[in-house]
Amino acid sequence: MIVTYKQNISNAVNMYGGHRMEIARAVELSLVVLKTYDQEDYLEQIYEIYNCICNDHIYEDEPRLCRNELVRILENLTVNSRHSAKSSLNSVLYGNTSESEKTRVAGLLEKILFSEDED
């Protein structure tokens, strides 16, 4: 039986009890699993989260999460990245940046996420 990303989140949330912090952790762990098995869907979810953060939208797969929780998820997923653009990502996540900067960083997300050894 194949479990979808959304089912995986639901299962993890139920296991953790449905508290907001646990919901964020469940989404994060589901993304880690998705990265291993389906990198294309993983990137699609990452870009969706990124767009929700940049545009103050609700993350449809888990609408109970606020912007700050989505930021923490992306931050945790990039914690080991040594890519030089990581500081630009943090600037977008935590500051008010221009639309052109948000677009530029969106184009670097994949490199940031998959770069644990680059400078």
Quick: pLDDT tens for 30-72: 999 999 999 999 999 999 999 999 999 999 999 999 999 999 9
pLDDT in the model for residue 20: 57
Q: Check whether 119 has a pLDDT greater than 60.
A: no
Residue 67 near residue 56, CB atoms below 8 Å: yes
**114 falls in which pLDDT band (50, 70, 90)?**
confident
pTM, two decimals, is 0.79
Q: Is residue 90 pLDDT above 60, yes or no?
A: yes
Picking from 81, 78, 71, the residue whose alpha carbon sits closest to that of residue 49 is 71
Give the pLDDT score at 73: 95
Residue 9 has pLDDT above 70, yes or no: no
Other residues' Cβ atoms within 10 Å of the Cβ of residue 59 = 20
Gap between the Cα atoms of 55 and 49, Å rounded = 10
Q: With contact defined as beta carbons under 8 Å apart, do 86 and 55 qualify?
A: no
